[in-house]
Chains A and B, each alone.
Chain A
């Protein structure tokens, strides 16, 4: 899987929007952009994924740059329960074993 770069940590205030960036300058045409998050003392959980178009679901929105070299996970109103490590992962459509390769992620801290 191609490499992604994320800030180590970010802070946000409760009830404000949060934009979590991810750079993936070596992304290939068959790579999908996946986001997972890991709450304290829990396993990672799926958040969202996309290819080219922006995506929305009940948890978050994913904005993908036109050249696909970067993307942004958007939490529209951060809550204290959103404090977690967020992982941006490129996943090749046809990769053998459908494996996910995790990087360091961004630790999001939410202040009341």
Chain B
């Protein structure tokens, strides 16, 4: 989607290794979000950010950390990847207006073996 990119698109990693996923936006939106999507669970919020260095936990934040040092970048880190973190990860951005829509990235498919 225009204005938001996720990297990498695919990654295979081993259990116990650290992994960082990157979300980059060019829209200068205030809010950024990380979701994971698993069969049977739909999309669940991991963490979100409402400004540079301002982040908060979502529904499934255990095992994940985030950082936002610049408006345009929101990083999701799995400190020690586990097989249960195999999932598709989506980043989203929002202007923060109450009625504004979200724009989602194309996703990162992460496999932990």
Contact of A97 among B42, B44, B48, B97 (CB under 8 A): B48
Main secondary structure of the interface of A (DSSP, over half): loop
Question: Which of A45, A93, A97 gathers the greatest number of chain B CB atoms within 10 Å?
Answer: A97
Which of B60-68, B73-81, B101-109 forms part of the interface with chain A? Answer: B101-109
* Contact in complex: A98, B90 (CB < 8 Å): no
Q: Which residues, 10 to 40 on B, are CB-close (under 8 Å) to A?
A: 31, 33, 35
* Contact in complex: A43, B105 (CB < 8 Å): yes
Cβ of A80 < 8 Å from any Cβ of B? no
Contact of B101 among A46, A101, A102 (CB under 8 A): A46
Cβ of B110 < 8 Å from any Cβ of A? no
Contacts of B106 in A (CB 8 A): 42-43
* Contact in complex: A43, B1 (CB < 8 Å): yes
Minimum distance in angstroms from A74 CB to a CB of chain B: 19
Cβ of A21 < 8 Å from any Cβ of B? no
Cβ of B71 < 8 Å from any Cβ of A? no
Complex formed: what's the CA distance from A45 to B3 in Å?
Answer: 13
Contact of B98 among A42, A98, A101, A102 (CB under 8 A): A98
Q: Which residues, 30 to 51 on A, are CB-close (under 8 Å) to B?
A: 32, 34, 36, 41-46, 49
Cβ of B45 < 8 Å from any Cβ of A? yes
Minimum distance in angstroms from B16 CB to a CB of chain A: 29
* Contact in complex: A44, B102 (CB < 8 Å): yes
Q: Interface residues, chain B, CB within 8 Å of chain A?
A: 1, 31, 33, 35, 42-45, 48, 50, 56, 58-59, 90, 92, 94, 96-107
Closest 8 CB pairs of A and B: A43-B104, A46-B101, A102-B43, A93-B98, A43-B90, A102-B42, A44-B104, A97-B48
